[in-house]
Amino acid sequence: MINLVIFGPPGAGKGTQATNLAKAYQLIHLSTGEILRDEIAEGTETGLIAKEIIDRGELVPDDLVIELIRHQLDNNPLAKGFLFDGFPRTLPQAEALDNLLVHYGRSVSAMLSLEVEKEQLLARLINRGNSSGRSDDANRSVIENRIEVYNQKTAPLISYYSKVGKYERINGIGTVQEITDRLKAIIERLPLNKRSH
């Protein structure tokens, strides 16, 4: 049983790598960003709250995203494991995830942190903005704000996971395959078949 957090700033490659890893290890890929964009597309109450916040590049309230994750865990009791992408993003979210997983007899096995410098993040997201249709990729100041919000509110989680020996740092520059291989090398040496605490 393995539960991974894929971590890093906007544009670090979390979604790209999560797709590859979920397939390789039969994990359920939970991207809070994707779930929120689906809620917006469906015009749900959550989507209505989230839209304006996402458009500014700010963070959606903790209780709302925690509820989305709780719902996904409830709906997948037989999952081999989960791959959390873009969650947690704040200390209360990290604590909530730990508590939720305890409830299911699970725990975070590792936090895989993709490291990419700001200029490269900006280049990737500005480029993606030409075709993604994502409102938060559409202008440079929103992209810069997302990176700033990451630095202020999300990067401190590195110390949260570091303290319990679960922080794994990965160079996020290279081809997609090279980075997948780096991630797999780390995952292969985790204690996959027992609960890690």
> Per CB under 6 A, which of residues 143..182 are in contact with ligand AP5?
146, 174-176, 179
Q: Is 16 in the site for ligand AP5 (CB under 6 A)?
A: yes
As to burial, measured by CB atoms within 10 angstroms (0-12 exposed, 13-18 middle, 19+ buried), residue 34 is middle
* Closer residue to ligand AP5 in complex, CB, 6/110: 6
CB atoms within 10 A of CB 136: 21
Q: At what angle do helices 140-149 and 118-129 cross, to 10 degrees?
A: 140
Give catalytic status of residue 70 as yes or no: no
Read off the tokens for 51.
């839209």
Tell me: does residue 129 bind ligand AP5 (CB under 6 A): no
Single out the catalytic residue among 56, 70, 134, 153.
134
Residue 73 binding target from Mg ion, ligand AP5, none, CB below 5 to 8 Å by type: none
Minimum distance from residue 55 beta carbon to Mg ion (Å):
16
Burial grade of 128 (CB within 10 A; 0-12, 13-18, 19 or more): middle
* Known catalytic membership, residue 89: yes
| 11 in Cβ contact with 121 (< 8 Å) | yes
CA-CA distance, 8 to 168, in Å (whole number)? 11
DSSP 151: I
Task: Give bridge partners of residue 4 from the DSSP assignment.
Answer: 83, 110
72 touching ligand AP5, by CB under 6 A: no
51 flagged as catalytic = no
Q: Candidates 20-28, 30-38, 105-113, 155-163 — which segment interacts with ligand AP5 by CB under 6 A?
A: 30-38
- Select the residue interacting with ligand AP5 from 2, 4, 7, 11 (CB under 6 A): 11
Q: Can you tell me which of 1, 15, 76, 134 binds Mg ion, judged by CB under 5 A?
A: 15
Please say whether the beta carbons of 179 and 188 come within 8 A: no
The residues carrying an active-site annotation are: 14, 89, 128, 134, 146
Q: Which residues bind ligand AP5 (CB under 6 A)?
A: 8, 10-16, 32-33, 36, 53-54, 57-60, 65, 86-87, 89, 93, 124, 128, 136, 146, 174-176, 179
